[in-house]
Structure 1
Amino acid sequence: MVSGLYELFSSNQMVGDSLAGLAAAVEPGGYLVYTGQPWHPQLELIARALTSHRESQAWVMRRRSQSEMDQLVEAAGFRKITQRVDEWGIFTVSLAQRIQ
């Protein structure tokens, strides 16, 4: 399960490396649950509140479209099976299976 982590990484290379590590750990047929946050109505507020680890500079999370995130998951060796989205389209939960 990967939740709320990849918004911290600005680089798709870092996300891809993490997903590759998960793919190496998950046997074929195993599952990956991952979340997404394609947008957020309070993004500016969150950025200004989370400055402690950025030397008082605003932190803006790296939002990825669902398609972008799904492509990264697929490139790591998983096949997306299903997805759920909240009624506002802010949060997604997806299930993917490790392919051989």
Structure 2
Amino acid sequence: VSFNQADAFDAEMLAGLDPAPDLAIVSGLYELFSDNAMITRSLGGLAKAMQPGSLLLYTNQPWHPQLEMIARSLTSHRGGQAWVMRRRTQGEMDQLVTAAGFEKLDQRIDQWGIFTVSVARRV
């Protein structure tokens, strides 16, 4: 097992990971950013780094009942600005993953439909 620290949105840095990862885990990150271009760069960099057959484990938060409470409570890292999580439908998140070169294999979702965990394989 090895661990690499990198800028998750720097596609070139991710693409250059050595050794190439055969498992990448992106958990609780993409929900923090509203810009799909950032997510596209991140997924694209991972896809370039990974060999076919490698696995991507990713999370999504399509819905949250306490979104406003969270936004108003967690302002310290945004200079007092409300922090609004970017909820993506599962279809939107899966399309970003597919466009980057992965094939979704499976998904789990909690009983309330708030959190999902999916696994995809590098094509």
Bucket of the pairwise TM-score, normalised by the shorter protein:
over 0.9
User: Aligned residues: percent identity?
Assistant: 71
Structure possessing the higher relative contact order (Cα contacts under 8 Å, 6 or more residues apart): 1
* Residues matched between the structures, number: 99
Counterpart-to-counterpart distance in 2, 1:67 and 1:23: 19
The equivalent of 1:3 in structure 2 is 27
What is the root-mean-square deviation of aligned Cα atoms in Å?
0.7
Task: Please identify, of 66-75 and 18-27, the stretch whose mean Cα deviation from structure 2 is larger.
Answer: 18-27
Give the letter for the 1:65 counterpart.
T
> Which runs of at least 4 in structure 1 moved beyond 4 Å after TM superposition?
none
The equivalent of 1:31 in structure 2 is 55
Give the letter for the 1:13 counterpart.
A
SS at match of 1:79: strand
Query: Per-residue CA shift, 1:47-74, capped at 9, x if unaligned?
Result: 0111112111111011100000000000
Q: Structure 2-normalised TM-score?
A: 0.78
Counterpart-to-counterpart distance in 1, 2:50 and 2:93: 18
Counterpart-to-counterpart distance in 2, 1:31 and 1:39: 25
SS at match of 1:17: helix
The equivalent of 1:53 in structure 2 is 77
| Residue segments in structure 2 that go unaligned for 5+ positions in a row | 1-24
| Residue segments in structure 1 that go unaligned for 5+ positions in a row | none
The equivalent of 2:98 in structure 1 is 74
Cα displacement (A) at 1:38: 0.4
The equivalent of 1:20 in structure 2 is 44
The equivalent of 1:42 in structure 2 is 66
